[in-house]
Chain A
Amino acid sequence: EVQLVESGGGLVKPGGSLRLSCATSGFTFSPYRMNWVRQAPGKGLEWVSSISSSSSYIYYADSVKGRFTVSRDNAKNSLYLQMNSLRAEDTAVYYCARDRWHDSSGYIDHWGLGTLVTVSS
Chain B
Amino acid sequence: SYELTQSPSVSVAPGQTATIACGGNDIGSKSVHWYQQKPGQAPVLVVHDESDRPSGIPERFSGSNSANTATLTISRVEAGDEADYYCQVWDSRRDRMVFGGGTKLTVL
Contacts and interface: CB of A to CB of B under 8 A. Distances in A.
Nearest to B98: A47
Contact of A104 (B88, B92, B98): B92
B45 A105 contact: no
B108 interface: no
Contacts of A61: 96
Contacts of B54: 109
A50 B88 CA distance: 14
B16 to A, nearest CB: 25
- Classify the secondary structure of B's interface with A: strand
Contacts, number: 62
Contact of A47 (B30, B37, B84, B99): B99
A59 interface: yes
Number of chain B interface residues as a range: 20 to 34
Given A100-B48, A112-B42, A105 B89 contact: yes
Contacts of B86: 44-45
Interface in A84-100: 95, 100
Contacts of B92: 104-105
Interface in B55-75: none
14 contacts: A35-B97, A44-B102, A45-B37, A59-B95, A62-B1, A95-B42, A100-B48, A104-B90, A105-B89, A105-B92, A107-B90, A109-B45, A109-B48, A114-B42
Instruction: Enumerate the 5 nearest inter-chain pairs by beta-carbon distance, A residue then B residue, closest first.
Output: A47-B97, A107-B33, A105-B31, A111-B42, A44-B102
